[in-house]
Amino acid sequence: MQKINQDSFADFITEGKKVVEFSADWCVDCKRVAPDMPELAQKFADQFVFAEIDVDEARTVAEQYGVKGIPTFVVFENGKEIGRLPSRFAKTKDQIEAFLQEHVSTEKI
């Protein structure tokens, strides 16, 4: 999962479906789900591009998107937020996976 910052955030979310995990190095729950993220990113690689942003380093972005607790997962499609999993529901791999599954496109190309 790539790391983005305040400067790269807008470009990252502009095109396609993106999942941004708002987190911080000190966050216990972020550390708890971190080992599961590579597997989830791989499982959903055909649907989303994943990135992580540190709320301490990107306070403006976190405030702009009203991120109050971490980890918070936000799904963007072409720059617009289409889904959010706030920290109170982002404590386990199963919760995160169910959230991502809800935003999987069922369209055939």
Please list the active-site residues: 27, 30
By the 10 Å C-beta count (0-12 exposed, 13-18 middle, 19+ buried), 37 is classed as buried
